[in-house]
Chain A
Amino acid sequence: MAAPSEKKEPEGFGDKLFGFVQKKKYLLISVASVCTLFLIWAIGSALNWFNPSFIPPMSSVWEAFIKTLTEGYKGYSLLYHIGASMKRLFIAVALAFVSGSVLGLLCGMNKVILAIVDPFVEFYRALPPLAYNTLIVLWLGIGDDSKIALLFLSAFAPIFIQTVFGAQRIPADRINGARSLGANKATLFFQVIFPSALPDILTGLRTAVGVAYATLVAAEMIASASGIAWMVLDASKYIQYSTVYFGIIIMGAIAILIDAVIRVLIRRLTPWQEKNAL
């Protein structure tokens, strides 16, 4: 601000570009890093560095993508497969969010309830979903219910555990202060304890989505004919590696997208936590 006259001069294109590069420096480095990998892939395929049955050329992956996009995969469009997976994921995470946060808050406030619930959560959360997948199919059948149940179980534990932690670390002064202002039990729970734990609940949600997403493969392994994870598994059975490649790329891109949405959600819902790293 030493020379305000400089500010008034219209910025040239070069200045603007420079400003943009300065601001988005690390994003641009990430983009360049990814582009480099694709470049190596393209050059390597063109110069026959790789065995095409292991690493197919980019063009054939692209063709497989376009083909699936226009013709679908095994009777259903690509968007249908993505939608089927997203629907399962969304229902499971939504159920886990509601039940995990409510139960977590109760357990965080009341040690007796925690003592009742905690052993079960601690027991099952360490188990790999593939280990009990069969049992869930046995109980719930081969439809969407069992897949949602599997995703739910993987999403529940992180939300529950983080919420208990969040509820336990609410400052006593805050709750006492609310009581002195005349808050009854319901007000205390919904208007003081819940928002106090919200940053932790959302952190739990973010972890839960990641874990549930990783479980998607296990969930869509058994008796499935739809879903993006199933598509990748099915294509690998029939040695359609181009489909496997673009399926994986799509799954990864969706994961990044979901996480970005949750990060925006966290920033919007808990602006007072801004200083804490995200």
Chain B
Amino acid sequence: MANLTTVLMKLEGVNMNFKQGRGFYHALHEINLEVKQNDFICLLGSSGCGKTSLLNIMAGYVKPTEGEVTFEGKPFTAATPDVGVVFQQANLFPWMSVYKNVEFGLKQKKAPKNERHDLVMHYLEMVGLGDAADKLPHQLSGGMRQRATIARTLAPDPKFVLFDEPFSALDALTREKMQAHVRSIWEKSHKSFLFITHDVDEALLLGQRLVVMQANPGRIISDYVNPLSSYKGLHAGRLDQAKEYADIRAELISKIQSEEDVRLTALAKSIEFGKKLAAVV
């Protein structure tokens, strides 16, 4: 990693439309994004703001309706082992042991067998699953499965890793552990990470760069350096130790709230008020 400011992936004027009835649904509008080497970007946005559409484009699963995507300066057209993806739900192959799952990407790279073994065990131990190598995915807990997926994604040594809300289905305790895990993996590996989440605290804890999206149509409304990333050893439950925390959290929340969210919050508040009123009466 000679040059830390090398642009790895670049999106220019990306638009995405989906057919919807007779018309179109404008999922992404004029997305411009540069992913640099060693970036840890947290992509924040409420549901339906086009985060997953953007991920599908960056992973090479779909082509944008309009716009250019380049990877290392070349047009990016299809999924490649250089861009790894960790999905929302662990998508391990259920018929393969954890070991074989992690080995899968290495086999596609035609890595020699003894080298494969060392790498598989290295990544399994990195995520704390060295003892579970022979287990089948259905024998693991949700957190273990997600860790195995991370090991599988990292094993073929991708340059860029996309995470699509990978911890949203986990319980709070497991999620905290996993977040610390991902952060330390990133610190050690010097890869670029793009982490999609709708959890503001998660983004503040993990990200170096915060990219905020808003819906209708899905677009990027701000992109800045996370002030909290300069704090060393910040813990999930203690983000308030950073003096900027309260302000930036409030700012981010107001940004990701679309009009609809505001309406829903107002509705929820009025229902709450009604309940309280009923309780009093």
Contacts and interface: CB of A to CB of B under 8 A. Distances in A.
Interface in B74-98: 78-81, 83-85, 87-89, 91, 93-95
A177 interface: yes
B136 A182 contact: no
Interface in A86-101: none
B277 to A, nearest CB: 45
A174 interface: yes
A57 to B, nearest CB: 53
Contact of A181 (B136, B138, B152): B152
A181 B81 contact: yes
B104 interface: yes
Contacts of A177: 85, 87, 91
A271 B79 contact: no
Contacts of A184: 108
B59 A180 contact: yes
A38 B109 CA distance: 64
A275 B60 CA distance: 34
Interface in A171-186: 171, 173-174, 176-184
A143 interface: no
A187 interface: yes
Contacts of B87: 173, 176-177
Contacts of A270: 95
Contact of A180 (B83, B89, B137): B83
Given A180-B84, A182-B80, A174 B152 contact: no
A272 interface: yes
A193 to B, nearest CB: 11
B81 A180 contact: yes
Contacts of A192: 93
Contact of A174 (B60, B83, B93): B93
Contacts of A179: 60-61, 78-79
Given A171-B91, A173-B91, A198-B95, A180 B79 contact: yes
A83 interface: no
B217 interface: no
B61 A182 contact: no
A52 interface: no
A101 B89 CA distance: 28
A68 to B, nearest CB: 45
Nearest to B94: A272
A88 B61 CA distance: 46
B77 to A, nearest CB: 12
B95 A181 contact: no
Interface in B104-152: 104-105, 108-109, 136-138, 152
Contacts of A198: 95
A128 interface: no
B50 interface: no
Contact of B61 (A176, A187, A195, A196): A176
B156 interface: yes
A158 to B, nearest CB: 23
Contacts of B93: 174, 178, 192, 195-196
A192 B94 CA distance: 10
Contacts of A173: 87-89, 91
Nearest to A275: B138
Nearest to A179: B79
Nearest to B152: A181
Contacts of B137: 272
A195 B59 CA distance: 24
A272 B136 contact: yes
B197 to A, nearest CB: 18
A141 to B, nearest CB: 43
A197 to B, nearest CB: 11
Interface string A251-277: 000000000000000000011101100
Interface of B: 59-61, 78-81, 83-85, 87-89, 91, 93-95, 104-105, 108-109, 136-138, 152-153, 156
Cβ-closest 4 pairs across A and B: A182-B108, A181-B105, A182-B81, A272-B94
Given A179-B78, A182-B156, 6 more contacts: A174-B91, A177-B91, A180-B85, A181-B156, A195-B93, A272-B94
5 contacts: A180-B81, A180-B84, A181-B105, A182-B105, A272-B137
Interface of A: 171, 173-174, 176-184, 187, 192, 195-196, 198, 270-272, 274-275
